[in-house]
Amino acid sequence: MLNFYRFKQDYLIFRGTDRLDLINRLSTNQVNTLQKNNGIKTVLTNDKGRFVDLITLYNFGDFIFAACSLGNSANVISHLDKYTIMDDFKAENLSGTHETVLFFSETAEEFAKNIFDVNLSDLNNNDFGFYNIEGQDSIIAKNDDGFNGFMFIYASKDHDYWEEKFFSSSNRQKNKLNEISDFEFEKTRIELGIPVFGKEMSEQTNPLECGLNKYVSFTKGCYIGQEVIARLDAYDKISKHMVKIETEQQLNTEGVKIITDGKECGFVTSAIKASNENYIGLGFIKTIFLNESKSYSIKDNDTLINCKVKQLAYTEA
């Protein structure tokens, strides 16, 4: 069975001869060498090294099609415009014009090859191929986070066509497709330790604290926030780390702190009921308090809830 999820995000288009150079100067990854039909993720950071957003760039040759977090496109454009002075660069907000379906499971690669004639094993990072049938265009882009699989991106105007082509009841059965709910997606995301913007990725955190090292180049030139991030890496000064949390009692997020040895040591950012017995979540613990053998608890108002924490491995390049 192949799982699919209607992945919600905003879209942008970048034009101008300086489009890659500008983004390279404003984000963490090496993107100025991105070739046509190649895709890559990079983090836009502010001058404190904190998140503006994690964006995906798809190079079409004469323009860059980009995806960012849902509801954050205007903020991304504002940030880019702030640093666009003499550059030949133009950003356009395409939110609402496209839709994305994430296909994932062990059969995703076979499905991509048989249906779209795209060999995911030949693609790196977020590289993509094209699929056109009866005049309907789409792209099939490799997905490089813990879900793996691929992103199927198409124009919203073609929604009804693709619904009938793949997602009608008969075609779901024919292609052995299973749609997962928002709840199921969120549960799996937390289990995989994948940070999202607005929760783990925020103005309180930086890419290294979220374990997004694979989207950070430590050899490229300067970018906004580079000095802060380079110093954290060089001197091993990461102040907190993202952790997975598990408890047998209800776990909330709003204002909820993590406690150890009677001291506040972190906070919860995501939480969901994983089963009849357990709640799971993501959060951050200050480095000096991080030791999985310690006893931790969640402070929800005046209630202390025992919990287990597990440090999540960095996603190395």
Question: Where do the structural domains in the chain lie, given as residue ranges?
Answer: 2-167, 190-311
Residue 189 reports pLDDT greater than 90: yes
pLDDT tens-digit profile of 273-292?
A: 998 889 999 999 999 999 98
Residue 170 per-residue DSSP state: H
Percent of the chain with pLDDT over 70: 98
What CATH number has the domain spanning 2-167? 3.30.1360.120
Residue 109 reports pLDDT greater than 70: yes
In whole angstroms, what is the distance from residue 125 CA to residue 33 CA? 14
Q: Give the Å distances, CA to CA, from 91 to 9, 31, 76, 186, 303.
A: 17, 16, 9, 30, 48
Q: Hey, what CATH topology would domain 190-311 get?
A: Elongation Factor Tu (Ef-tu); domain 3 (2.40.30)
In whole angstroms, what is the distance from residue 91 CA to residue 192 CA? 33
- In this prediction, residue 221 has a pLDDT band, given cuts at 50, 70 and 90, of confident
pLDDT tens-digit profile of 30-89?
A: 999 999 999 999 999 999 999 999 999 999 999 999 999 999 999 999 999 999 999 999
Tell me the average pLDDT across 243-261.
92
Percent of the chain with pLDDT over 90: 89
Tell me the average pLDDT across 137-155.
97
- In this prediction, residue 25 has a pLDDT band, given cuts at 50, 70 and 90, of very high
- In this prediction, residue 300 has a pLDDT band, given cuts at 50, 70 and 90, of confident
Q: Do 190-311 and 2-167 have the same topology in CATH?
A: no
Q: Could you tell me how far CA 289 lies from the centroid of its own chain?
A: 27
Residue 314 reports pLDDT greater than 80: no
Per-residue confidence (pLDDT) for residue 316, from 0 to 100: 44
- In this prediction, residue 315 has a pLDDT band, given cuts at 50, 70 and 90, of very low
Per-residue confidence (pLDDT) for residue 293, from 0 to 100: 87
Residue 128's nearest CA partner among 41, 8, 215, 10 is 41
